[in-house]
Amino acid sequence: MEEKEKIENEEKTEDKSSFLIPQEKYLETGIHIGTRFKTMDMNDFVFKMRDDGLYILDLRKIDERIREAAKLIAKYKPEDVVVVASRLYSGNAAEKFSKLTGVTVLRGRFIPGTMTNVKLPNFKEPKLLVVCDPRGEWEAIREASMTGVPVIGICDTDNNTPFIDWVVPANNKGRRALAILFYLLTRELMMSQGKIKSYDEFDYRLDHFERFDNDDERKKKAPLEVKEEAEEEAAQVKEDKPEEGSADARAKEAMDKAKAPKKKEAPKPKEDAAKEKKEEKVVEETKEEAKEKASD
């Protein structure tokens, strides 16, 4: 029995050490935290549902899929790979990935026809497409399917995956989750490109992919992106709260009201009490007079 437990502990240790990055780092960034919705397409990548209704992605599968995605990207020349990042956080992390590896990144809204209309000035003809949010970047996926371009998709629990050839399960809305994902893709790809020979030579920290450069200038030039950032922050906070108007929200509100201590009415001042008593006396006298007149 002891020997069996020892073998199991050794296997767990081996599993942890085989991650691209310490397991604790993954957990800190929330890359495994999904949404309250789960599609059938993402069912195989979900580990469990938390008590608060949030679905949790399988960390082992996240790590394996990031590793294989990096190997797949490495098979292509950097100029033949296009990353579509329509959201603020994915765009920021993907930009850092682009600068270090040479891969092309398209930030912001994907212009229809980018991959099918040769007359467009921003026309691209990639051999591999990476999308960061299948829901918001569906047009890019559609055009890739029309032109026979394979697609790698970073998919959350609420995403559908038609026409996506390689799913990378991950929280695709959080700043830190996207930062660690592109941090790992960059490191693995630079290894494959021969730019670094070991992880020790990778001089970039995780926060390099998380922070925004020239933040003040960015706020002046892109107020819409700043608004989007605030909305995304609010969306992340909202994931831990029940939706307004939902059954969970109404139940919580009712329980909060029940638990809340009842407010005691403040005692009325003596003058107000005397005045109220006098008014009641006048009303009673008026009623008596009315009764006497009626009897006469």
Q: Could you tell me the pLDDT band of residue 292, with boundaries at 50, 70 and 90?
A: low
Residue % of the chain over a pLDDT of 70 = 66
Looking at residue 277, its pLDDT comes to 63
Burial class (CB in 10 A: 0-12, 13-18, 19+), 92: buried
Residue bearing tokens 């390099």: 208
Q: What is the pLDDT of residues 70-97, one digit of tens each?
A: 999 999 999 999 999 999 999 999 999 9
Domain ranges of the chain: 16-214
Q: Could you tell me the pLDDT band of residue 18, with boundaries at 50, 70 and 90?
A: confident
> What value, to the nearest 5°, has the Cα angle with vertex 132 and ends 131 and 138?
55
CB 226 within 8 A of CB 89: no
The two tokens of residue 95 are 């930009």
163's CB contacts (< 8 A; 6+ apart) are: 141, 142, 144, 145, 151
Mean pLDDT of the region 168-187: 97
Q: What is the pLDDT of residues 237-283, one digit of tens each?
A: 444 444 455 444 554 455 455 545 555 555 555 555 565 666 666 55
Mean pLDDT of the region 51-67: 96
Domain 16-214 is found in CATH 3.10.105.10: no
Specify the pairing of strand 55-57 against strand 46-49: antiparallel
Cα–Cα distance measured from residue 205 to residue 252, given in angstroms and rounded to the nearest whole number: 41
Cα–Cα distance measured from residue 15 to residue 8, given in angstroms and rounded to the nearest whole number: 10
CB 154 within 8 A of CB 38: no
Residue % of the chain over a pLDDT of 90 = 65
Looking at residue 222, its pLDDT comes to 52
Q: Could you tell me the pLDDT band of residue 294, with boundaries at 50, 70 and 90?
A: low
Whether residue 45 is predicted with pLDDT greater than 50 in this model: the reply is: yes
Looking at residue 226, its pLDDT comes to 53
